Amino acid sequence: MTDARLAAGDQAPSFTLRNADGEPVSLADFAGSKVILYFYPAAMTPGCTTQACDFRDSLGSLQGAGYSVLGISKDDPATLKTFEERDALTFPLLSDEDLAVHHAYGAYGEKNSYGKIITGVLRSTFVIDEEGTIEQALYNVKATGHVASLRRKLGLAA
């Protein structure tokens, strides 16, 4: 892996990325609130769709517990817009086409894919507190069941 992984207690790297409408969204926009930031490989692929829909379906309870959800991929804003509309996603999807934010969070590097070592996006989730400190850094998570597992880690009822 080329980038250092983040851990609980680290300061979350700041960023500004374009959303599905091409408008800038910064982590600083969420200062004073809790954020679940997740990185996924590609919009509209089966696993990424499952994960995004799980976040969508849990959004009410996550927001009720004070969390905002942000999804980041290397897809361009137009692709994110299609994904957002196709699957009725109601949280911001952000475009990191140059992978700078992926690298800052250690969410890009070597991984094992069906027994072969490749370089790519590491499906990762970060829970960030109101002060911008990482509470949880979860790498190589599974798409299916991840949101339910995260909810348990956050102490939210299933």
Task: Give the catalytic positions in this structure.
Answer: 48
Q: Are 122 and 139 in contact (CB under 8 A)?
A: yes
From CA 112, how far away is CA 135, in angstroms rounded? Answer: 26
Interior/surface letters 60-72, b for 16+ CB within 10 angstroms, e for the rest = eebeeeebbbbbb
Distance, CA of 32 to CA of 17 (rounded, Å): 19
